[in-house]
Structure 1
Amino acid sequence: MGSAVLKARLEDEVAPSGCRHWSFYPAFLFALSIWVITPCSWAFVAWTLTTGNFSSLTGIKLLLFPWAVAESLFSVYHLYLSRRLSVSTTIHNPPVGLPFFVELFTRILKLGLIAPFPHKPKRISQIIPTLPPAKAIRSIIRTWAGHVPWSTIPRSAVRNWLLWCIYGNTPMDILTAEESAQVEEMLGLLELRAGEKFADDATCTGTIMRLTVDPMKTWGRPLVLYSTIGITNACLRKWYAFQYGVTFDVHAGLEYLLRMPPSWTPSQAITHPPILFLHGLGAGLIQYHMTFKHIFADPTLASRPILIPLQPHISQDILHHQHLNPLSRVETLQALEGLLSKLGFVPRRMSENEKAASGGKVGAGEVMKSQLTVLSHSNGTIVHAWLLKAYPDLVNRSCFVDPVTFCLWEGDVCYNFVYKSPTNAMEVLARYFVGSELGIANSIQRHFDWTSNLLWFEEIPNGLDPHRAMFFLGGKDAILNAQNIRRYLSSVGVEKGLKYDANGHHGSALFAGAQGFNEIMQWLQEECEGEQ
């Protein structure tokens, strides 16, 4: 037993390689060339004013000076916003509460176990450290701790992590005796299932990620980058309106694009079901332009409405009032459900007053089954998950591309996207141009709630039917752990509906012409076959 435990310990000492791939360097230089615009602007303005050369500026220098001034002033504003958000420890999502987390915690510890999990935690005996379930639990905790060796993770850090998961930023000393005892019991249970105890607090000073409490990580970027993205997205919106008849509107604070076929009516929802596309983090329309272009132009989808909610807080729209004040989960769901009902995409729900007036009878609209098809990508799969959990009867078909909503207890998404030091080109570009942007960082590091964003497979209607549910994963995804998610989906019986590209990166399934994109388009077209 001693040698087996030692072997388990040695395995837990192994950390992911931090060696940089050669692609890291050109990507870093490219990001640096964008970042350096701000200090160069400051230098140019300072040189011009201190040398008194302003009156002698001509040609290109005369054009560059106002731009440099604008960049300098914007950098002050950007720094102010960044500092304000960085020191904030406000958690915008309400704590999940002890009963919910105990149930979730117990369920997570069941994963990978062959024997039934005892109902009462007190009856659990320590698991052998070399068993796969024990290794899996240790791997999860090590991921939340930044992949440090197990022997360096102090018990107090894990306790603080549990407190954060349950209560948000609540210190232990204000909990009731019963609550404190429950936290300690879960901590002990975690050690039993891991097969190893945590390190003594006196010998270790390690910490565990607490995403919404830790200081926010942002990198500066020039005004010209925001301007380029904003102008391009505005032009694309105009182009979609001109080329494809796409309209822009707002419902209950939720902005959206809508391609509505002229002759479509709610009665055609069965034969021409509407499509809801939920985009992810990035730069908004410019990032998904080729995807939208092919979907809008596809003749087999021409008779179907297409709805695209816009999310300014994760699209680098810095002038938008929601850039740093995104709609909450509840607000998003209420607005989205109301919009879908207003457009006739889903059966209208009777209000309580209407039900009372009708004597409690259900209206005909509620009897009709929803035919809505939802296609989501990356962070959009979280909104997809919210919709399925709140209104499962509204979604008929679901397609998840690079889903970050599964296996969130493992911490890979948080670690890879926020904490991990980039080692290759994809990671550098994702960190600078996406992850460290103010609105996106604020959304992920102050509004992200992994317990609420988590989706279990059984919460997906007809998840085993490939016609009703599809999942696309890339083996080289730098954000989520595609291998673990693949194993999870396979373990619950998903076969034909799971598309795994061993060489695929995050988002590559949406590249026009890629095998994954062709399969997504075929899946969308299934309901339209024979209708043209």
Structure 2
Amino acid sequence: MLNDSWVEYLLIRATILALQSVGPLSTAYAFSLLLQAFILPTNETSKPLQLIANLLVSVKPLQWYCFAEAAFYVFLRYYRIHLQGEAIHPPLRSKVDRQALFQNVRAEIHDPTRFISGWFRGAEIEEIGRDDLKDYLSWAFWEGRTTAEDEVELEEITKEVEKMIGKRKFKPGRGSVKSIRLTLDHVEMDHRSLLWYSIILLIDTTTHLRLLIYGMRYYCTLPTSFGVFPPRPLALATASGRSPAPKLSYWLRPHTSKTRLPVLYLHGIGVGLHPHVEFLHQLDAKLNANTPPNDQVGIMCIEILQISSRLTHSILDRSEFLTQLTQVLDQHDFKRLVLLSHSYGSVLSTHMLTDDAMAARVAATLMVDPVTILLHMPDVAYNFTARAPTHANEWQLWYFASKDPGTAHTLGRHFFWSQNVLWRERIMELVDRGMRLTASLSSRDLIVDTEAVGRYLVNHEIPDPVLLKDKKANQEHMELEVASKKKKEKREVGEAWKVRKFGGKGLEVLWWEDLDHAQVFDQAGSRAKLVDVLVEYSRSS
């Protein structure tokens, strides 16, 4: 991520403006050429075929390029409409499961007013209509598929939320603001040009070659080789074999060690593995330098092209992802492994950790910039999809991630929060079974409320409900308890968890002061620390 300086701000704004202008300017220029050729011919007796022939003969290379950009611009206008198709939702929960989910969320809300306001894009409670609140709750717990039979239950949950809010009241009927409902809202994307995808093609090719040079092997599939734009000329030409999974391609450093565990990496949103090639090479060197051929630690990197600035098939749903990943892991005998994920990759790692069969394979986990912990809070959804950018890093996130067509479609039609959230209860259950888990958090993360995530993981800071009959006494008691708790934390606990050294046991947090989302991979010191964690996990798990 960029830092918040004027130079970087001006650079990112100029870059975005230039990339956004390619399609419209090319279309306008192409239209003007057609206008000159067909609408304003100097020879009134010219026939259409003759006009076309004359135009083709006279067109220069730059003009052909503008025609291509114009055609692609028109195509993406249609593609925007295509992205609005309805999401294929997972099966609805039973009433018992739905009530349990609501109670889980309710128990972990520190500030109900801030919680609701965040999901309504920062609006005041008085601006929110009661019917709008019910629409949000319908999405949150029914995925927008409530029926007449669900109205009684929906009304009960609505009243519970009103009790949580207290004195402040929602407007009757509809208000002036709408909530964030990812899988139901309009999918917002920004146009991409052929020039941009040419850059992606170059990045993909360079990344491919670098990984080959570093000893990685590529396992392709037909959809990830041919069913993707921009094209991937090296995908089949340099593949070591076909993936056993029909829609999961991956890179592999073969695993031969009998005493150490391999590493599985799930990357985040961006341009694929390109930003992490040196990190992976550094990890490989630390794991396998000066070791014999029969004691090499494998590294597997799954390609997630849907969030890598590509146009391709839809991302696999949770069930299909787990099925196909199992096929890949079985093919290479990854019976036990160390799991590494970054940002959106934590969604896929959460799918693994919440599945008992798959979680049994995971000996240890390192989650870098995870977005699934406290996912029921509005921070991640608001910061990634609804926040108006103002700073350089926010503009970078907005254009190159949030508004990318593939990423926007993945988040808008395939991101089901209740499937993707990783509860602390589940983490502690896995830790009690022997799994070790480290979360790497950065203080300036522009997507995740890392301070809250760190305290949630380490101290499980959830206020216990105080049940007093007298409302005034209850309020006073709550205020005193909060003030007392803050003083106690400052006096006894403070920021100790942020500076605690990595011990390789149980649940731990790595805290990076003054780093933003993904910047942990940019600096040699922080990158080396992540490598040390993975080496320790591989060796002693």
- Please tell me the TM-score bracket, short chain as reference: 0.7 to 0.9
1:193 is aligned, of 164, 170, 180, to 164
What is the aligned partner in structure 2 of residue 377 from structure 1? 342
The counterpart of 1:276, out of the listed 264, 277, 280, is 264
Q: How far off is 1:463 after superposition?
A: 3.9
What does the per-residue CA deviation read over 1:425-481, in whole Å, with 9 as the maximum and x for residues that have no partner? Answer: 111111111111111100001111011100112323654899921111112111121
Q: Which amino acid aligns with 1:335?
A: Q
Tell me how far apart the structure 2 counterparts of residues 253 and 201 of structure 1 sit (CA, whole Å).
51
Contiguous gaps of at least 5 residues in structure 1 = 1-19, 113-132, 347-369
| Pair 1:397 & 2:364 matched | yes
Q: Find the aligned partners of 1:379 and 1:484 in 2 and give their Cα distance.
A: 18
Matched residue, 1:253: 246
Distance 1:258 1:90, change over 3 A: closer
CA contact (8 A) 1:140 1:409 kept: no
1:148 aligned residue (98, 123, 126): 123
What amino acid maps onto 1:280 in structure 2?
G
Residue among 406, 409, 433 paired with 1:442: 409
Q: Against the structure 1 CA distance between its residues 464 and 142, is the aligned structure 2 distance closer, same or farther, given a 3 Å change threshold? A: farther
1:525 aligns with 535
Residue aligning to 2:517: 506
The SS at the match of 1:148 is coil
- 2:365 is paired with a residue of what secondary structure? strand
- Write the distance in 1 (CA, Å) between the matches of 2:209 and 2:87: 38
Q: CA deviation at 1:277?
A: 0.2
Contact 2:340 2:365 (8 Å CA) reproduced: yes
Check conservation: 2:23, 2:193, Cα contact below 8 A: yes
Give distance in 2, aligned partners of 1:329 and 1:97: 19
Picking from 12, 24, 35, the partner of 1:50 is: 35
Is contact 1:256–1:307 with CA below 8 Å preserved after alignment?
no
Report the residue type matching 1:279 in the other structure. Answer: H
User: 8 Å contact 1:279–1:379 — kept in the other structure?
Assistant: yes
> What residue is the counterpart of 2:61 in the other structure?
63
Task: Report matched runs for 1:474-493 at 5 Å.
Answer: 474-492=442-460
C-alpha change, 1:82 and 1:287, in structure 2 (3 Å) is farther
Q: Which amino acid aligns with 1:381?
A: S
Contact 2:244/2:331 (8 A) holds in 1? no
**How do 1:287-366 residues align onto structure 2 when only pairs under 5 Å count?**
287-298=275-286, 300=288, 303-318=296-311, 320=312, 322=313, 325-346=314-335
Offset of residue 344 of structure 1: 0.6
Structure 1 partner of 2:25: 40
Match of 2:251, SS?
A: strand
The equivalent of 1:432 in structure 2 is: 399
User: In 2, Cα distance between the equivalents of 1:462 and 1:95?
Assistant: 26
Change (3 A) 1:277 1:43: same
Residue in 1 that maps onto 2:381: 414
CA distance in 1, matches of 2:539, 2:327: 30
Distance 1:44 1:293, change over 3 A: farther
> Residues of 2 paired with 1:528 and 1:341: CA distance?
19
Change (3 A) 1:463 1:196: farther
Matched, 1:451 2:418: yes
Q: 1:432 to 1:467 in 2, by over 3 A?
A: same
Change (3 A) 1:189 1:420: same
Change (3 A) 1:442 1:93: farther
Matches of 1:299 and 1:203, distance apart in 2:
59
Judge conservation of contact 2:132–2:174 (CA < 8 Å) in 1: no
Partner amino acid, structure 1, of 2:133: V
Alignment of structure 1 residues 204-283 onto 2, 5 Å: 204-249=175-220, 250-261=243-254, 264-265=255-256, 268-269=257-258, 271-283=259-271
Distance verdict in 2 for CA 1:153–1:75, change over 3 Å: same
Q: Structure 1 residue 108 and structure 2 residue 108: aligned?
A: no
How much has 1:512 moved relative to structure 2? 4.5
Q: Secondary structure of the residue that 2:382 maps to in structure 1?
A: helix
Task: Report the Cα offset of residue 48 of structure 1.
Answer: 3.4
Deviation string, structure 1 residues 230-284 (Cα, Å, up to 9, x no partner): 33213422332243142223232233333334xx44xx34x12110000011111
- How many pairs does the alignment contain? 449
Q: 1:95 aligns with which of 92, 97, 107?
A: 92
Q: 1:473 aligns with which of 433, 436, 441?
A: 441
Distance 1:75 1:185, change over 3 A: same
Match of 1:181 among 143, 148, 152: 152
Distance 2:409 2:374 in 1: 22
How far does the alpha carbon of each residue in 1:4-53 deviate from its partner, in whole angstroms, 9 at most, with x for none?
A: xxxxxxxxxxxxxxxx9855444222101111111221233234343459
Q: Cα–Cα, structure 1 residues 469 and 204, in superposed 2: closer, same or farther, change >3 Å?
A: same
How far is 1:56 from its partner?
A: 9.9
Deviation at 1:204, TM superposition (A): 2.9
Match of 1:158 in 2: 133
The letter for the 2-side match of 1:199 is F
* Closer/same/farther in 2, CA of residues 111 and 90 from structure 1, 3 Å limit: closer
Q: What's the offset of the Cα at 1:55?
A: 7.0
Q: Is the 8 A contact 2:132 2:175 kept in 1?
A: no
Q: Which amino acid aligns with 1:311?
A: I
Cα gap change, 1:299 to 1:388, in 2 (>3 Å): closer
- The CA distance in 2 between the partners of 1:421 and 1:276, in whole Å, is 35
In 1, Cα distance between equivalents of 2:392 and 2:56: 39
1:202 CA drift (Å) = 4.8
1:491 and 1:527 map into 2 onto residues whose CA distance is 23
- The answer to whether the 8 A contact 2:268-2:307 is kept is yes
- Structure 1 distance, partners of 2:132, 2:439, is 35
Q: In structure 2, how many angstroms separate the alpha carbons of the residues matched to 1:234 and 1:466? A: 41
Look up the SS of the partner of 1:403 in the other structure.
coil
Q: What is aligned with 2:481?
A: none
Q: In 2, distance between residues paired with 1:24 and 1:55?
A: 46
1:111–1:527 CA distance, 2 compared to 1 (3 A): closer
After superposing the two structures, state which structure 1 stretch, 329-338 or 495-504, moved more.
Answer: 495-504
* CA shift in 2, pair 1:93/1:432, >3 Å: farther
Amino acid in the other structure paired with 2:375: L
For residues 392 and 529 of structure 1, the distance between their equivalents in structure 2, rounded to whole angstroms, comes to 19
Provide, for residues 134-193 of structure 1, a one-character-per-residue CA deviation record: whole Å limited to 9, x for no partner: xx111111100001112212221111111112222325xx321xx322221111112222
1:452 and 1:404 mapped to 2: Cα distance? 13
Partner of 1:138: 113
3-state SS of 2:511 partner: strand
Q: CA RMSD in A?
A: 2.9
Distance in 2, Cα, partners of 1:326 & 1:152: 36
Contact 1:93–1:447 (8 Å) recurs in 2: no
- 1:386 is displaced (CA, Å) by 0.5
Asked if structure 2 preserves the Cα contact closer than 8 Å seen for 1:294 and 1:512, the reply is no
Instruction: State the secondary structure of the residue aligned to 1:335.
Output: helix
Task: Specify the alignment match of 1:355 in structure 2.
Answer: none
